Structure 1
Amino acid sequence: MKTIITFGTFDVFHVGHVNILQRAASLGDTLIVGVSTDQLNYNKKGRNPIYNQLDRMKIINSLRYVNLCFLEESLEKKEEYIRKYDADVLVMGDDWKGKFDHLSNLCEVVYLERTPSVSTTEIIEVISSAT
């Protein structure tokens, strides 16, 4: 049994989110997803997410290839989460490339390419400018 863990905000859910979660799930038997809390998202991006953390978790939990979803409270707790869920592989988008290599002593670290031309920030900007 190979356990995969990944993290994200998953706000304004889109095909890029689906693609990375499907690809992460294909690397093992169990996919565990940490969803950033509203506070973490604000600290990281300087804005609140469009959808609150419970709604975002409900969306992620509804996906058939996600086995477990939990709230990620801090970027600095990745090691703690990897140990807690006994993850064999940490999967992150390639926009984080190199930032979690220090965790390779705990598990394999894989950076997956993001879906081109799809970003939550860009979607929000397009919607905002249209109003």
Structure 2
Amino acid sequence: MTNIITFGTFDVFHVGHLHILRRAKALGGRLVVGVSSDALNYQKKGRYPIYAEQERLSIVAGIKYVDAVFLEESLELKAEYIKRYAADTLVMGDDWQGKFDHLCDSVKVVYLPRTPAVSTTAVIEVIKHL
């Protein structure tokens, strides 16, 4: 059985999030998802998520394609998370294309295309202007 790992903030959960989780799971095996902590999200994006990390962990854990979730606290710990969860495959959105190729010695890295015209940032902007 293949162990697949992916990471994301999963804030304001939308169909793009669902698609990447479904496609990751379709690669076969167990899907483990690292959900970015509030602090990590602030570090990456300069803003805190709309939903707190515990809420986002619960939402992602409730998705039928997901077998386990954990809190991702640092981008620099990707290799450690891969080892901890015995992952064979790392799945990331293609907006990260090439950024994890250095891990190819320990895990198969797959970049999946993002769902066109869907992003959390865009959803938040629409809501702000309602």
Partner of 2:93: 93
Partner of 1:5: 5
Q: CA deviation at 1:3?
A: 0.4
Partner of 1:81: 81
Counterpart mapping for 1:26-105 below 5 A: 26-105=26-105
Are 2:97 and 1:125 aligned?
A: no
In structure 2, distance between residues paired with 1:46 and 1:26: 33
Q: CA deviation at 1:129?
A: 2.2
In structure 2, distance between residues paired with 1:77 and 1:28: 24
Q: CA deviation at 1:61?
A: 0.4
| Percent identity of equivalent pairs | 64
Gaps in structure 2 of 5+ consecutive residues: none
Gaps in structure 1 of 5+ consecutive residues: none
Deviations 1:35-75 (A, max 9, x none): 00000000100001000000000000001110000000001
In structure 1, distance between residues paired with 2:28 and 2:104: 17
Q: How many residues align?
A: 130
Are 2:41 and 1:19 aligned?
A: no
In structure 1, distance between residues paired with 2:74 and 2:106: 18
Partner of 1:32: helix, strand, or coil? strand
Partner of 2:42: helix, strand, or coil? helix
Partner of 1:106: 106
Q: TM-score, structure 1 length as denominator?
A: 0.98
Q: CA deviation at 1:126?
A: 1.3
C-alpha RMSD over aligned residues = 0.5
Deviations 1:61-100 (A, max 9, x none): 0011100000000011000000000100000000000000
In structure 2, distance between residues paired with 1:65 and 1:100: 23
